[in-house]
């Protein structure tokens, strides 16, 4: 085995889009990978304080957290690369479309198949950066990603993940088996 020292080398890392409104009401979207679910109705976002998104979170107290599909990988990557502090119209340049959430003061991007509408619960200043805790108030999904029973079918999302080791993206979606069932045979040993 080869040693790599201390690195953030977990795989996969999620790709999420944080949606907020700027002070002038325009849409700001930012791709992030360092965060995820931390409770049944809570998400945690680990961000750097100087992001435009952080200023928007503090001003509005709300955000959306969306799962982008591979069909939006180029504009999503762009919005994770371009700084809202330097390019205030970056969302407009992406070619994507947004509407105002009916539940929180944040935008819902129509091209993203799954969106969590969230309120900001707390900001935690940590030695490693800022953690934003958000409460999920609703989950929205495009009809095209639902199965016959009306549930979200992850295979239809077309999601992609981030590779921290080589800075790549990988598509996901192949169904492998039922969770908490596929390994049951080991319980009998």
Tell me the average pLDDT across 9-38: 95
- Whether 44 contacts 87, CB under 8 Å: no
61 within a domain of the structure (yes/no): yes
pLDDT at 63: 98
pLDDT at 117: 98
Q: Among residues 111, 115, 87, 90, which one has the least CA distance to residue 102?
A: 115
**Confidence band, pLDDT 50/70/90 cuts, at residue 158:** very high
Q: Which position has the token pair 């390019």?
A: 87
Four-residue CA torsion sign, 78, 143, 161, 25 = positive
The total number of structural domains in the chain stands at 1
Mean pLDDT of the chain: 95
181 within a domain of the structure (yes/no): yes
Tens-digit pLDDT profile for residues 103-153: 999 999 999 999 999 999 999 998 888 999 999 999 999 999 999 999 999
109 within a domain of the structure (yes/no): yes
pTM for this predicted structure: 0.94
Report the distance separating Cα 89 and Cα 132, nearest Å: 24
- Whether 102 contacts 96, CB under 8 Å: no
Four-residue CA torsion sign, 76, 80, 82, 83 = positive
Which CATH number fits the domain that encloses residue 182?
A: 2.30.110.10
Domain that includes residue 123, residue range = 16-188
DSSP state of 185: G
Which one is predicted more confidently, 187 or 22? 22
63 within a domain of the structure (yes/no): yes
Tell me the average pLDDT across 164-178: 91
4 within a domain of the structure (yes/no): no
pLDDT at 74 over 80: yes
């Amino acid at each position: 085995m080869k040693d790599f020292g201390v690195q953030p080398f977990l795989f996969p890392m999620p790709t999420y889009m944080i949606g907020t409104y700027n002070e002038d009401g325009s849409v700001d979207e930012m791709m992030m990978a360092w965060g995820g679910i931390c409770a049944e109705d809570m998400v945690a976002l680990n961000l750097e304080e100087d992001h435009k998104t952080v200023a928007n979170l503090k001003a509005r107290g709300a955000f959306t957290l969306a799962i982008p599909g591979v069909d939006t990988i180029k504009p999503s990557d762009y919005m994770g690369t371009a700084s809202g502090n330097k390019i205030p119209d970056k969302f407009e340049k992406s070619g994507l479309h947004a509407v105002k959430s009916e539940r929180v003061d944040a935008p819902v991007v129509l091209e993203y198949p799954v969106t969590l509408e969230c309120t900001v619960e707390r900001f935690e200043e940590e030695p490693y950066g800022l953690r934003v805790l958000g409460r999920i108030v609703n989950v929205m999904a495009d009809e095209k990603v639902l199965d016959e029973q009306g549930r979200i079918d992850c295979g239809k999302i077309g999601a992609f993940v981030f590779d921290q080791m080589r800075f790549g993206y990988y598509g996901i979606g192949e169904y492998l088996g039922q969770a908490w069932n596929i390994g049951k045979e080991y319980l009998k040993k």
